[in-house]
Amino acid sequence: MTAPLYIALRFATHRKRALLLSLVGVVFGVAIFICTQAQTQGFAQYFINSTIGSSGAMVLRTKFQPRYEGLAVAAKNTTGATNRRNYFEGVSNVSEIMRVSRQFSNVVACAPVLRGNVSARAGFENASVEIYGIDPAAQLKATDLATQIIAGKFDDFSNNTSAAIIGYKLADFLNVGAGDAIQILSPGGEYWRFTVAAIARSGVGTVDLNRVYAHARVAQRLLKKPYQASMIIYKLRDPSRAPELASHFEELFQHRTESWQEREEGNLQIFFTLRVSAAITVSLIILLAGFGIFNVLTMSVLSKVREIAILRSMGYRRIDISSIFLWQGALIASVGSLLGCVLGAVLTWGISKVPIHIRGLLYTNHFLVVWDWRHYFWATLLAVVAVFIASYVPSQRAAHLQPVDTLRGSSL
């Protein structure tokens, strides 16, 4: 008995033009799905890497004490909110917290930061900025600051306590470059002069526009703070586990601890919405291809009524007849998915070379893409499901044809 796969190939080549159009729909649907997901995830991943590289994967900040509960730590409730607490400005016992933190396997490095809001002036321009008082050596280990320098040298900052590092957008606004001077207005109303030792570009617009790095001791005197640090930033081996570690650190140290997921929740939701929207839109292409396959297989059943009846009279069971048309769908799904994945990879590579000019939330000169096998998996799975559904109804219709009635010409 001839195998159903061989018969499926013979039936499929009977309507070549219609089959080709259906195949093209699957190919382009899979390819565009892969390409759009690579783009949307590429921009999201770039933002995540940039914000983690600039502000850490986790931040430990203000000390707290639960109200009316003695020294017990208030746990978060199911909505993510915390019970009422009394907060105290600054981080207490910084050295001890950092020493204990380094014992956790997921902690790569940590660095103390003293942050405050000040005004920066250069020439006739003024800007409200955040000053970050840092320990240069610790900051290099906990962030990507060294690789973000685009002008000047980090060593010039490390060796000069009156030096500062500013974001490139702030430098453009103040019209200053490496080696120029800026003035910082202290809370006491005095202007402190700093030399711009280097200019950094993190890739995150708000950081590049508002941040000024200074030495911790200098920042402490400028801000007139009695404590050494207002927060500790952490670099983690696995940033995806930051929420669990942040919750544990809150209980352990009694300081408000925030993961990067919580800090950037709003932006992450925007990127997620864009990915889902793009996936739904592109899925319509594969859905339309499924309708085309449904029509092709339905017409194939109508045109092969007599052949189906002959096969049934030769001993083919209903499941054998059904498998013939399911095999046709499987062939379309397999070939379409394979060609679609290849085309998707080519389109993704081509898109990554397209020049663009983004200077808002992100900084990039070309489209950002991510090479992720899951894009190919989900595109293939979507195509297989759509084609199977489109093939199932015609296959069942063919399987229930009665050979005697068909040969008599009374069927359909």
Our count of domains for the chain comes to: 2
Among candidates 257, 263, 234, 242, which has minimal Cα distance to 60?
A: 257
Q: Are 51 and 264 within 8 A, CB to CB?
A: yes
Alpha-carbon dihedral 347, 353, 356, 362, rounded to 10 degrees: 90
Among candidates 299, 314, 289, which has minimal Cα distance to 397?
A: 299
End position of a domain, from candidates 217, 233, 263? 263
- Which three-class secondary structure state does DSSP give residue 236? strand
Is 347 found in the same domain as 204? no
Is 278 found in the same domain as 325? yes
Is 343 found in the same domain as 214? no
Is 141 found in the same domain as 47? no
Is 274 found in the same domain as 238? no
End position of a domain, from candidates 263, 281, 309? 263
Is 245 found in the same domain as 369? no
Higher pLDDT, 386 or 341: 341
Is 274 found in the same domain as 251? no
Per-residue pLDDT at 360 exceeds 80: no
Identify the pLDDT of residue 247: 93
User: Sorting pLDDT into bands at 50, 70 and 90, what band is 70?
Assistant: very low
pLDDT in tens, 303-337: 555 666 666 666 667 676 677 777 777 888 888 88
Identify the pLDDT of residue 339: 92
Percentage of the chain surpassing pLDDT 70? 81
- Structural domain span for residue 198: 54-263
pLDDT in tens, 217-269: 999 999 988 888 999 999 999 999 999 999 999 999 988 999 999 988 888 88
Is 177 found in the same domain as 142? yes
Per-residue pLDDT at 198 exceeds 80: yes
Is 168 found in the same domain as 23? no
Average pLDDT, rounded, for the chain = 82
Q: Are 411 and 402 within 8 A, CB to CB?
A: yes
Higher pLDDT, 313 or 383: 383
The Cα–Cα gap between 18 and 384 comes to 19
Q: Which helix (H) or strand (E) holds 56?
A: none
Contacts of 129 (CB under 8 A, 6+ apart): 117, 118, 119, 120, 166, 170, 210, 211, 212
The model carries a pTM of: 0.74
Measured between alpha carbons, how far is residue 243 from residues 24, 213, 263 in Å? 44, 27, 10
Is 258 found in the same domain as 135? yes
End position of a domain, from candidates 248, 263, 278? 263
Axis-axis angle for helices 305-313, 318-352 (nearest 10): 130
pLDDT in tens, 13-52: 666 676 777 788 888 888 988 998 898 888 888 888 888 9
Is 228 found in the same domain as 171? yes
Beta strands in 248-314, from DSSP E residues, in sequence order: 255-259
Is 307 found in the same domain as 167? no
